[in-house]
Every structure is written in structure tokens, then in C-alpha cells.
């Protein structure tokens, strides 16, 4: 297992398709950026979500989403999605997100998503042991850092 990351940053370029007629990014696209953020956090942490689905039949189904929008994102801007794991249980994983505009580090949005471990057929299941141990270790490591 790689050393535990406090968070992981990924940079996204805003697409024209993501804007709406207000001239800003349509709000639901932030949820898609969250997805990019957590997949890349997991990859950086040594997990390959694609394999989790195919090899372990472990799907992180979205159970809850929350997002606060502070400032709009605009076409062609470079956006940083900062993701961290904020909670983990036997069959639950919760990610937190901060979305920044790269140019001036302005905070555009904050949010979190809660995921339940499910099989392909939709049935809830515990995380496979190899993942569970690591998720719990990440959360423990992060709690310790906070406590310091």
C-alpha cells in the first residue's frame, strides 16, 4: 500500500459542452468532476476502480450527494478537484471535495458523496477484505493527522 495521501488533486479543463446559457458551468457537472476526483484519488492510492468492478464485483454506488456552489466555473478554465476520503466503514465510503479555479486558487464549490459497496446485481455487500483494510487504514491515518 502506498503512503496515505491527505488528499489528491486532479486538474480538469472546462468543456464548452459543460456550460449553460447563464455562461457558467451547469451545476450537475460538478458531480461528474467529483467522480473524476475520487477515481484519480483511488488510482494515486493504488486502487484501480475499473478492476474493482470487473475483478472483485465491487461497485461504489452513490447513495448521497451534497454540493455547495460558492462561485461559478467558466468555459476553458483549469479546475482543480481536491478529493479526500472522509469516512470508511465495512460497506460505506465517503469522499469530500473542494473545487478550485487553478488560476487564483479561488474556492468554487465544496461537496461530499457517500457510496455503498454493491455487487453488479445491486445487492449491498461488504468491501472485499483487501480494500476494506486499506480504506480503514486511510481513515485512521487521516484521523491521527487531524488529532495532532
Q: Is 20 a catalytic residue?
A: yes
Helices (H) and strands (E) in the chain, counts: 3, 5
**CB of residue 108 to its own copies, shortest distance in Å:** 12
Considering the complex, state which of residue 30 and residue 131 has its C-beta at the smaller distance from its own copies: 30
Tell me the backbone φ, ψ of residue 65, rounded to 5 degrees. -135, 140
Cell of 110: 465544496
Contacts of residue 134, Cβ cutoff 8 Å, sequence gap at least 6:
1, 45, 46, 47
Cell of 13: 479543463
> First vs last Cα of the chain: how many Å apart?
23
Considering the complex, state which of residue 58 and residue 142 has its C-beta at the smaller distance from its own copies: 58
**CB of residue 130 to its own copies, shortest distance in Å:** 19
**CB of residue 54 to its own copies, shortest distance in Å:** 10
Q: Interface residues with its own copies (CB under 8 A)? A: 13, 15-17, 19-24, 26-29, 31-32, 35-36, 39, 48-50, 59, 61-69, 72, 75-76, 120, 122
Considering the complex, state which of residue 27 and residue 89 has its C-beta at the smaller distance from its own copies: 27
Residue 101's CB: how many other CB atoms inside 10 A? 18
Pick the catalytic residue from 20, 48, 56, 104: 20
Catalytic positions, written as ranges: 20
Amino acid at each position: 500500500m502506498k503512503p496515505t495521501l491527505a488528499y489528491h488533486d486532479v486538474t480538469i479543463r472546462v468543456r464548452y459542452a459543460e456550460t449553460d446559457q447563464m455562461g457558467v458551468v451547469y451545476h450537475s457537472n460538478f458531480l461528474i468532476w467529483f467522480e473524476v476526483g475520487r477515481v484519480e484519488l483511488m488510482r494515486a492510492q493504488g486502487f484501480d476502480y475499473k478492476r474493482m468492478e470487473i475483478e472483485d464485483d465491487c461497485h461504489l454506488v452513490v447513495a448521497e450527494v451534497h454540493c455547495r456552489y460558492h462561485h461559478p466555473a467558466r468555459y476553458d478554465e483549469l479546475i482543480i478537484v481536491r478529493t479526500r476520503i472522509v469516512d470508511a466503514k465495512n460497506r460505506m465510503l465517503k469522499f469530500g471535495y473542494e473545487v478550485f479555479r487553478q488560476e487564483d486558487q479561488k474556492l468554487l464549490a465544496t461537496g461530499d458523496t457517500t457510496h455503498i459497496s454493491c455487487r453488479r446485481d445491486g445487492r449491498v455487500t461488504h468491501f472485499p477484505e483487501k480494500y476494506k483494510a486499506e480504506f480503514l487504514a486511510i481513515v485512521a491515518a487521516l484521523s491521527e493527522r487531524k488529532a495532532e
